[in-house]
A and B are shown apart, each in its own frame.
Chain A
Amino acid sequence: MRLTCPLCGDRDRREFYYYGAEDYLRRPAEGAPLADWDNYLHLRDNPAGVTKDLWYHEAGCSQWLVVTRNTVTHEITGVELVAERTVGQAK
């Protein structure tokens, strides 16, 4: 498996660390209902198909990445920098 880091380019799997679902980027606001926190911390979709997760380029540029991949075909369709995301970014 290889990921194309937007900064470093095409790199081997061993340079990256897997964190979990992209949901971690959508932290509930302070004082959000308990259900939102429960959802944020514990409830995950398990799709057969396209999913997004967070990877860390630990043996590279030290950037967090959002990787779009397909759990059925193993195809990787997108890698973007968390730092440069404009959509859905927590302010």
Chain B
Amino acid sequence: MPELIAKSALDGRSLTLGGVTLAEVAIGPITSVAVLPGGAKAVAKGLKALGLTFPAPNTFTERKGARIVWTGRDQAFVLGVDCPTMEGAAITDQSDGWAVLAVSGVAAVDVLVRLVPLDLRLGAFPVGTAVRSGLNHMNAVILRTGDYAFEVMVFRSMARTAWHELETTISMVAARAGVKI
């Protein structure tokens, strides 16, 4: 068998402008855990092996490099570790289906509020929040990983569009900061 080389959607691209850094991050394996009816108990047991628990809506938790993100009713993504098959859930590998962009810096929130129809201020959107919402017209999973850090997951086919949206917005926010009124 030939050795296949996995390539990320944006070749690990990054840019820093006006105190905001945008970078593609390699997040490792992405596995969807879709709980089957009545399977919650078995899934809890399966996740325990990874040190994880099924997250509440709009949250994510991390433990020893493994992250679990709520992505819908009875569905979560396990990131960063190989997820074993488990009873009570449909497990699908989605590693190739997503691009993950990290937006960080003091003005990161000012950039994202221009694209996301949510209150992203720290009080309303604390660290550990993960939502499914829109990045402009794109469906996205948006995680708050730090006081000044977000991660945005988009479908891989939209990676360059997401990059373009974010890059344009970052340059607009940076230009706005430079204007004295």
Binding site for B on A (CB under 8 A): 7-9, 11-12, 14-15, 58-63, 81, 83
Contact = CB atoms under 8 A, between A and B. Distances in A.
Interface residues of B, number: 11
B117 A7 contact: no
Contacts of A60: 131-133
A15 B73 CA distance: 16
B171 interface: no
B72 A59 contact: no
Given A81-B73, A83-B73, A8 B134 contact: no
B137 to A, nearest CB: 8
B139 interface: yes
Contact of B57 (A8, A14, A58): A8
Interface string B70-101: 00110000000000000000000000000000
B73 A11 contact: no
Contacts of B132: 8, 59-62
Nearest to B135: A59
A61 B117 CA distance: 15
Given A59-B133, A63-B72, 10 more contacts: A8-B132, A9-B58, A11-B118, A14-B117, A14-B134, A59-B134, A61-B72, A61-B132, A62-B72, A62-B132
13 contacts: A7-B72, A8-B58, A8-B131, A9-B58, A11-B133, A15-B117, A15-B134, A59-B134, A60-B131, A60-B133, A61-B72, A62-B72, A63-B72
A60 B132 CA distance: 5
B133 A63 contact: no
A61 B134 contact: no
B161 to A, nearest CB: 15
Contacts of A14: 117, 134
